[in-house]
Amino acid sequence: WLNDRLYEWLGEKNAADTLTLSAPGNITSEMGLALLDVADQIRPHPEVVAFLRGVEDDGFLDELPKLPGGAAARDAIEAYLDRYGMRCVGEIDITRPRWSERPSTLVPVILDNVRLFEPGAARRRFEQGQQQAREKAQEVLTRLRALPDGEQKADETERMIDRVRTFVGYREYPKYGIVSRYFVYKQALLDEAERLVRAGVLTEREDVFYLTFQEFHEVVRSHQLDDDLIRQRRDAFRSYQALTPPRVMTSDGEVLTGAYRRDDVPAGALIGVPVSAGTVEGRARVILDMAQADLEAGDILVTAHTDPSWTPLFVGIAGLVTEVGGLMTHGAVIAREYGLPAVVSVLDATRLIRDGQRIRVHGSDGYVEILP
């Protein structure tokens, strides 16, 4: 509504993107900024930074207190995990290792934050976004008041801006609550599976993930398990991992394909859906695994898709391109809150854009140029 009205009255396109910068109460965008605060606790301690560069397993938290400043670093990481440790890539899948179970996943992102940012970056970024939003709101209201019936239009818009900024972050809470509960369920399942391992029923506790809940119930009751069933399902799962899911599938199982039809973009441009306003040029970093991220200031993240676990990377990039997504998917919402130009649903972006190429992202018009 807000964008439509402002476009109708002022010709202002994507104004709401600026008006939602640093909106309070978004648990996911706060998660990205909070990891900057963790970096602030680690940055002053060179021995801790050097140690983290060599981390290869998940026992590193126990080793940190042996280093100067290591106890404070461990406390900062553990406090972060206490609030956000139930998240991970593909978190809707209960079998995926959570950050609390595999904290080493966060180490590359923490080290990037140590290297790329100055102390206090989280607070400054949030305050800068708030200031930009306030200035845009004042500009919009001033321009509206100069129109016929301007006071009424300005009052209506001011109420809507307040409503948007108050409630836009609520979108992230259902997923946060679901994933929080999933982690509790997972811990309960694995505790029961551990008892089955000790009883010699299961070889590994993760084998329980190859059973339906009813089958699991029967195994707990009878202590009987068909090992061939586990083996067959493990093999089937590996074969499924090699498949590429269709972009669109109806509830009837029909796979839909299509193509963009636009004549208002440069020749050779990659077309997608505009979801966060602005234009940015920079080095493309094609990243398919968050744990392998190695970013520099001004890089543009190019990936297949994102979920909330990718948010800590968003604080260090200048723009976003994904192969999947829409106006209200995770990457689009957080890109707008962080003020990052973004284009999503760009077919084969990770194949057509090479890592290290310079690209220009047109977040308002929905296309990406690959530069010479």
Mean pLDDT for the stretch of residues 4-14: 81
Domain positions in the chain: 1-198, 270-370
pLDDT computed for residue 280 by the predictor: 98
- Span of 13-22, 181-190, 301-310 with lowest mean pLDDT: 13-22
Under a CB-based contact definition with an 8 Å cutoff, are residues 326 and 345 in contact? yes
Compute the distance between CA of residue 288 and CA of residue 62 in angstroms, rounded to an integer. 29
Q: Are strands 279-286 and 273-276 parallel, antiparallel or unpaired?
A: unpaired
For residue 72, give both structure tokens. Answer: 């404070």
Does the structure show a pLDDT above 80 at 139? yes
Q: Please say if the pLDDT value at position 64 is more than 80.
A: yes
Annotation marks residue 45 as catalytic: no
CA distance 238 to 153: 58
pLDDT of residue 221: 95
Residue 13 has pLDDT above 80, yes or no: no
pLDDT at res. 291: 77
Question: Does the pLDDT value for residue 39 go beyond 90?
Answer: yes
Per-residue pLDDT tens digits for 337-357: 999 999 999 999 999 999 999
> What would the CATH number be for the domain defined by 270-370?
3.50.30.10
Amino acid 128: pLDDT = 95
Q: Greatest CA span in the chain, whole angstroms?
A: 80
Per-residue pLDDT, 290: 84
Give residue-wise pLDDT tens across range 22-38: 999 999 999 999 999 99
Q: Active site residue: 45, 223, 305, 330, which one?
A: 330
Alpha helices, H only, the chain: 2-10, 15-19, 27-42, 46-53, 60-63, 70-84, 107-116, 121-145, 150-167, 173-198, 213-222, 227-241, 311-314, 330-338, 349-352
pLDDT at 259 over 90: no
pLDDT the model gives residue 100: 97
The residue that leads in pLDDT, 12 or 35, is: 35
Of residues 199 and 258, the one with the higher pLDDT is: 199
